[in-house]
Amino acid sequence: MIIRKAVFFLGLVTILYASDDPTQNRKSSLHFTPKVINLYREKVRRMFYHAYDGYLNHAFPLDELKPITCVGQDTWGSFSLSLIDALDTLLVMGNTTEFRRAVALVLEKVRDDANVNVSVFETNIRVVGGLISAHMLAGRHKDLVADWQGYPCDGPLLKLAVKMADRLMPAFNTETGMPYGTVNLKYGVHKDETPITCTAGVGTFIIEFGTLSRLTGDDKYEKVALKALDALWSTRSPIGLVGNHINVQTGQWTATDSGIGAGVDSYFEYLAKAAYLFKRPSLMKQFHAHATAINKHVRKDDWFMWVSMAKGAVSLPIFQSLEAFWPGTLTMVGDVQDASRIMLTYSEVIRKYGFPPEFYNIHNEEPADKRAAFPLRPEMVESLMYLYRATKDETWLELGAEMVDAIESSARTKCGYATINNVKEHNIEDRMESFFLAETTKYLYLLFDTKNFIHSKGDHARILTSSKNLTCILFGGGYIFNTEAHPVDPGMLDCCSIQAKREQEVGEKEVNNGDHHEKRELTEQGGEKYYENQYGKEENLIEFEVDEKMKEEAERKRQEEEAQKKSEESRKAMDKVRQFLIKAHLKDEEKQRNGETSESAKKFMDQLLKAYPNHTSEMESLNKEALIEFEEIQHLNDIREIVRDIPIPDVFCERCCYPLHEIVDSVALRVLMADVYEYHIYPKRKVNFHHGPVCWIEETPRIEDDYKNEPPSVHTDKWKSPLYDSDMVVLSSFVGDDETEAVRKFGFNHLLAPGYRKLDRLIAGQNVATRRKKSWYYEV
């Protein structure tokens, strides 16, 4: 009787929650034996190398391959982007020989100071992320890092990643801490750069920048990334949604459509992943809060719409292929059953067309007009990989195999794989984006390579002793992928963080022991003498005095000029006297021949002798006046040199600059006028201005004057984020603590996936769980 009731109840549950569900499970038509799985793994390997070789043979050193015409093109900044994106894929597939050659090419060709405008978002996820991951994974092979001094916390690829990140830092110097979308690698952010940036462009830095901070010991990268996340979180709507585009200077939303697709997607992804990677419960709490709001307002059945962030009203009933990352993220945080439901819904599109189109109209069940392309995107196979790792359900292998066959059949060209221009017709266009090598082929390979080291649960771990005599356990598993599928090893972050902390403690100990050279000098010389020797005497700008050497130089020049002037005047006077005397003598001789008496020459000489003292006195007076005037001019020029160095607010203009006012000789007046214009005139008239550098009309404008290239000062109060160190979980602190107190103190439960519910155990393993009416997500 009890058995019959149990069978009846199980059947009732299946009827109520599975049979009427359009996403109920389908049995795989292909039995995936180890041989079949290995077959598809090798198919993917050949696919990668066909595309990789095509890029190197026809497109390198440009960014991407055009696979139909077999030529290259620059797209995101001329970084040899496809090669950087492919570095860690080579190691995932075990090719250390080609990896070594590719690294040499990257270090030789890639420049961080090119005069080129780049996307801050794309450069971060592809270049910075790709270099970091390649640096990390290279350590699995000792021969690859044998010459890298300081590994794992230093190395040539890491150095290049740091340089690239430093070039992006000026973008974060905004009123809100949210970054601009574009930066010039050489000059910084243009003065006329738009402050409008997409949500993902604000919230997709914490994995790469946080990793850099942990590897290098410099916290500035993690601080700016957390500040951006903090600012974004504070702008969510009352119903918990975020929009699509925001003004990074004002924090005002400029596009208020809310969803999980283009322009927003990786923000949610990074909240969950960074919570695990850096052990930050607050980030996971934010993810859960967003997920709750998404399920309530954005989700319709198992599709996700675009809605108003304020009211939740549907604005666009479209599925975007970028949204396919969501089941993978849900799987990672432990909501496997719901992720399965959503993925089975998406699978209908794959089975219908072979690929997901960029936009799919949910109501019409057709690709959206002019948005029917499939640019070889990875999001679908990314979620398939996570789901198969979590469930071992062959359904996900089957869907992955279908995509491999479809890509091979429709997208392959003689030198690569082309974008599918229309999923209904399977025609192609001439582009192969770098993420095909970084993500699509990597996730497909990992889907079918179940024993890959990326899936490690500790069996691939290695003990490494760094150059600082620090023993680390690396490559133990738990890799976190950035949104470009570049994996990060958590163990390496912990190792380098400990090393950086030890070095900091040693430095502080030296300071406290009074070992610093400057401290000894300060004691021996006294404060004023030390300061004077280090920085010189403090100059009074108002009562400026000419330097003694300048006075000596001026006096020497004056004497030279005076002597030269006297010599020239004397020569001219003597010439005139000589000519007059000659004429006088000739006249006297002529009159004497005629019997007349003449003494013209004698009289002239007498007059000349009488006039000489007066002439000498007059010349001396003129020379004194000239000397005084010269000294005044010299003094004035010296003062103006100081005045020119005082920054003033300059009005923005294209390829030009205007002085605030005519140059004056008073420093005090110039400072006063600068303050008047900066705090009163310009703000009142809403004139767009910035601080210095001073540009004068007679100077030729410089290119760098059109850019702002200062990184944010992360150690000021403005850049303090409540996310930075308030909730970081330090695992060692759990030793000896009461477990309940530790959970209360750190919120560690937010980093744990939920267990199975009782209802899950009543449903057959191959069936999908019930559609939940209420979310289990934690509330903030």
3-state SS, residue 193: coil
Structure tokens at 724: 């930075």
Q: Which of 302, 338, 379, 439 is catalytic?
A: 379
Q: Which of 358, 394, 433, 706 is catalytic?
A: 358
- C-alpha–C-alpha distance, residues 281 and 752, integer Å: 10
Phi and psi (nearest 5°) for 707?
Answer: -125, 155
Instruction: Please identify which residue in the block is written with the tokens 């119903």.
Output: 239
Q: How do 427-429 and 419-422 pair as beta strands?
A: antiparallel
- C-alpha–C-alpha distance, residues 190 and 496, integer Å: 35
Return the ∠ at Cα 162 (arms to 158 and 164), rounded to 5°.
115
CB 56 within 8 A of CB 83: yes
560 catalytically annotated: no
Name the packing angle between helices 34-58 and 81-92 (round to 10°). 150
CB 279 within 8 A of CB 731: yes
Largest alpha-carbon pair distance within the chain?
A: 173
Nearest to 358 by CA among 346, 345, 371: 371
Nearest to 273 by CA among 171, 203, 221: 203
CB 64 within 8 A of CB 72: yes
- C-alpha–C-alpha distance, residues 632 and 636, integer Å: 6
CB 283 within 8 A of CB 271: yes
483: annotated binding-site residue? Answer: yes
- C-alpha–C-alpha distance, residues 272 and 281, integer Å: 9
552 catalytically annotated: no
Q: Which of 265, 269, 302, 727 is catalytic?
A: 265
Q: What is the DSSP string of 537-593?
A: PPP-STT----HHHHHHHHHHHHHHHHHHHHHHHHHHHHHHHHHHHHHHHHHHHHHH
Nearest to 551 by CA among 635, 483, 658: 635
3-state SS, residue 29: coil
In one-letter notation, the amino acid at residue 183 is V
379 catalytically annotated: yes
Structure tokens at 769: 């769980």
Nearest to 382 by CA among 438, 447, 320, 319: 447
Q: Which of 63, 85, 88, 122 is catalytic?
A: 122
- C-alpha–C-alpha distance, residues 357 and 33, integer Å: 31
Structure tokens at 562: 């005076």
- C-alpha–C-alpha distance, residues 514 and 507, integer Å: 11
358 catalytically annotated: yes
Binding residues for Ca(2+): 483
- Catalytic positions are 122, 265, 358, 379
Please state the residue numbers annotated as binding site: 483
